[in-house]
Structure 1
Amino acid sequence: MKRVLLIISGIAILLIIAAVSVPFFIPKSVYKAQIERAATNALQREVTLAGDVNISVFPRISASVQQVTVANPEGFATPNMIEAGELRGSVKWIP
């Protein structure tokens, strides 16, 4: 019984370490491209991320993006609907 608990604990610790370290191994350009594509599709406007993208998984899953612009449709007086210095979002691990 003790051996089974040690094995399960070891597997749980390895999974936690993997979850925390994965964002460090994936280039930030991958996140940036996916966020731009998803935001452009959702808003039906061109979204540009000119700054850095930061991803964190502990203590909650979060992302922050700097220098974000959302384009206006053609015919508007200004080229951008939104110009933000930084956008942040996060999700708790457990509600």
Structure 2
Amino acid sequence: MRRLLIALLVLVILVIGVAVLAPALIPTDLIRERTETAAQEALGREVTLAGDIRLQVLPQLQVRANDARIANAEGFGEEPFAEMQEMRVAVALIPLLQRQIEIEEF
């Protein structure tokens, strides 16, 4: 019983360690590219993330990006549909483990 508790404690510490270190280990260019692509697919419009990008793992897996723009639909002019100081995209964790991106919050 004691070994099981120690193993569970070690597992919890490892999970928390990965959650804390993951944002620092993943290159921001990769995060930017994947986030823009997922947002474009979800919205059907061009999405540009020009500012700083932050990855948050806990309590929810999400990306926060500053200076975000969503392009207007074709035929509606050159002005962006939306401009945001900060954009937040939260993704479901289980589909991500299966290499699928499912946006929970935008």
Classify the TM-score, shorter chain: 0.7 to 0.9
Aligned match of 1:15: 15
- The C-alpha deviation readout for 1:23-82, integer Å capped at 9, x for no partner, is 210011111101100111111111111111111224544431111111112322443111
Q: Name structure 2 gaps, 5 residues minimum.
A: 92-106
Question: TM-score if structure 2 supplies the norm length?
Answer: 0.71
- Please report how far the alpha carbon of residue 11 of structure 1 lies from its aligned counterpart in structure 2 after TM superposition: 2.2
Identity of aligned residues (%): 38
| Larger RCO, structure (CA 8 Å, separation 6 or more) | 1
Q: Name structure 1 gaps, 5 residues minimum.
A: none
Residue 31 of structure 2 corresponds to residue 31 of structure 1: yes
Relative to structure 1, the CA distance from residue 43 to residue 67 in structure 2 (aligned partners, 3 Å threshold; closer, same or farther) is: same
Aligned match of 2:45: 45
C-alpha distance in 2 between matches for 1:12 and 1:6: 10
* Matched residue type, 1:57: V
C-alpha distance in 2 between matches for 1:85 and 1:54: 14
Residue 70 of structure 2 corresponds to residue 66 of structure 1: no
C-alpha distance in 1 between matches for 2:45 and 2:80: 10
SS in structure 2 opposite 1:80? Answer: coil
* Number of equivalent positions: 92
- Bigger strand fraction: 1
